[in-house]
Copies of this chain bind each other. A is one copy, B any other.
Amino acid sequence: MSVRILLVLLFACPAAMAASGSVVETKSLESAILQENRIGLNPTRRIKVYLPPGYAQDKTRYPVIYFLHSINWENESMFAPGTAAQPTFDRAIAEGVMRPFIVVAPDYRTSGVGSLFANSSTAGRFEDHTIQEVIPFVDANYRTLARAGSRGITGDFMGAYGAMRYAFRHPDVFSVVYGMHPVGTGSGVEPLFQRPDWARLQSARTPADLQGDFYGPVFLAMIQTFLPNPQRPPFYCDFMVDVRDGVRSVNVDNVRRVENDFFLENIAAQERDNLRKLRGIKFDWGRYDPTYAHVHSNREFTRDLDELGIEHEAEEFRGLPWDKYWNDNGRVYTEVLPFFNRLLQF
């Protein structure tokens, strides 16, 4: 039966398609790596897996797109009833926007806002966990095309950060990356360290003490990830700004450590040869992000990539960070999946 005839059938019989339709599974993975942490991580991780229609019936191997969820979010909600992910993937496959593929959404929840994806003795070695535990686990349990050329990675907001970080540092593992509204690409208009209320951060004893604070919990995750200090309870980290007797003093060395290890613009410069190995790099962002620093930084970041000689795509669209991706004919459907379809090896 030729592809063409099959397509006709697919279009003709939505009911039949549903019958052998896509499946979303949940797997449990016991992480050895994440046991090392100071923030009470649960080492049992919940992996969500989207299997395309027909997976159970055939013996084909499929490319995999890893989807990294953002902070203040989680992979279960992503596939909750009524959400757009599964229907969008189904429709993309049905209408030929994308050939069949597997999606894996690992678990980056923490006791705080969620992982910032880098390795940290305090906040967990999530980068090692992903590369050394999640990917082998997926390749062992599913009929994947277990090679970089067939592995894509994406995510939204801080998840887009993670996706780009991992692709830039592991081109032997991933070959195509699409960042949906990445953050953490660089400084904004004002210095990064200016945003949170450091006095409140320093006096907090538990994450709950930061409730209602807009930037505090994110900056806590940031310093736990990039300034870990196992000797310094309660958060086991150092600070970018010290507050003593009400006087703020910027710790420039710490600021620079965070910026050097966190910002994608710096990671791109450090991993320049790695970036050249990737088959595709794209990211986009919404112009109306209420935190304008994200917009500003992404504009700077794409120019930085050009100055590094890195071919890529970078689009700024009209919209908020969260309102143009998952709707009908949203950017996941019109941009993200076609990008992977074009560049991944099937």
Contact = CB atoms under 8 A, between A and B. Distances in A.
Nearest to A307: B191
* Interface range, A side: 35 or more
A318 B313 contact: yes
A314 B317 contact: yes
B255 A307 contact: yes
A259 interface: yes
A91 interface: no
A303 B191 CA distance: 6
Given A189-B299, A190-B287, A318 B292 contact: no
Given A313-B318, A318-B313, A303 B3 contact: no
Interface stretch (A130-138, A139-147, A170-178, A192-200): A192-200
Contacts of A309: 250, 252, 255
Interface in A313-345: 313-318, 320
A214 to B, nearest CB: 8
Contact of A189 (B212, B250, B303, B313): B303
A308 B194 CA distance: 13
Nearest to A329: B342
A227 interface: no
B314 A302 contact: no
A255 B307 CA distance: 7
A300 B295 CA distance: 14
A129 interface: no
Contacts of A252: 272, 307-309
A189 B307 contact: no
Nearest to A269: B256
A96 interface: yes
A299 B287 CA distance: 9
A329 to B, nearest CB: 8
Contact of A302 (B8, B302, B318): B318
Contacts of A73: none
A187 interface: yes
A1 interface: yes
A255 B309 CA distance: 9
Contacts of A300: 300
